Structure 1
């Protein structure tokens, strides 16, 4: 029987992911600003979870927030992201995780553009990209 991504043990995740992806996605780490492969990425397509392949964000909702991380004003559809209260590092933030495999993606803030006013600030390491054909 094939295991689903959400059922993998930590050592299986370590084999499946790069060290940076494992630190970000499974341990809640953050890549350094202005270093991720998607922060200046402009190609049209879909950003998917690096762990399970769930479609998370569309290039149509991506914008340059100046933060150094890929930023989106909304997820691709309702229910693909779950929000978790994050009080680490002496701050109160809202963490966003993949609803299917519980991968740490980044955080959501209320300083984004219209129409939502939200900024989903996402680590490139937590994403893969599927180009529009």
Structure 2
């Protein structure tokens, strides 16, 4: 997963050109460690992983033995960052989700975009551009 600002990669989860790897969270999740900062270079030490198949048979987050820590990131950076990613247990890895966090007030989100790589297939660049609206610091 790549997060862009004005067309430039500012944060990543995993290596978009490599399948598998230590960041694999199939049917599980990964969450950024408190106070780790965004980077265009992936660092596994900045993340906690649930383990593969950690959410199999879960009917909800609270009913799961491996609970995704929604909205728990404590920051020290500015802007928009990737705080978590989810690959669900249903067919096709559904549901899939990315949690983003505004570490500062952002008057116009339209400068940000997200790109996704599927199983190391590489990113096609920006696949989603945020609408022209603001985000308040502390928003997920």
Give the TM-score taking structure 2 as reference length.
0.25
Which is richer in helix?
Answer: 1
Give the TM-score taking structure 1 as reference length.
0.26
